[in-house]
Amino acid sequence: MFRASFEQQFGSGHSIPVVNDTRWNSTYRQYSAILTLERGKLRSLLTDVQMTHLLMSDREYDQLAEVVNILAPFVDATVRLKAVWCSVTEHQTALSLTAVHKG
């Protein structure tokens, strides 16, 4: 019911990602997605589907935006470090396989 109402209100190309307990940046992505939605439409949707406990005040929206702004550099750094780590891991694996093959 919520998904259909959400897609009717915002279109099928929009979504709010689910938080993954092992990835802190999934919370960041969820918060960022919420902030991209038009506040009035979101309030209307939550009221229509009787989920008013999820409504945020203007102050809470502002605080959420502040959290997203504070976390943005950490998300960027995390993505960059992950790319470096994956690159190093790939090279280590290739070297290990070469050593085993020559061994």
Counted residue by residue, the chain has a size of: 103
Burial class (CB in 10 A: 0-12, 13-18, 19+), 28: buried
Calpha distance 16→18 (Å, rounded): 7
Element (H, E) at 59: helix 58-102
Q: What is the pLDDT along the chain (103 residues), one digit of tens a residue?
A: 788 899 999 998 888 888 887 777 788 999 999 999 999 999 999 999 999 999 999 999 999 999 999 999 988 888 777 766 555 555 555 445 455 555 5
Report domain extents, the chain. 2-102
Calpha distance 91→15 (Å, rounded): 36
In single-letter form, the type of residue at position 3 comes to: R
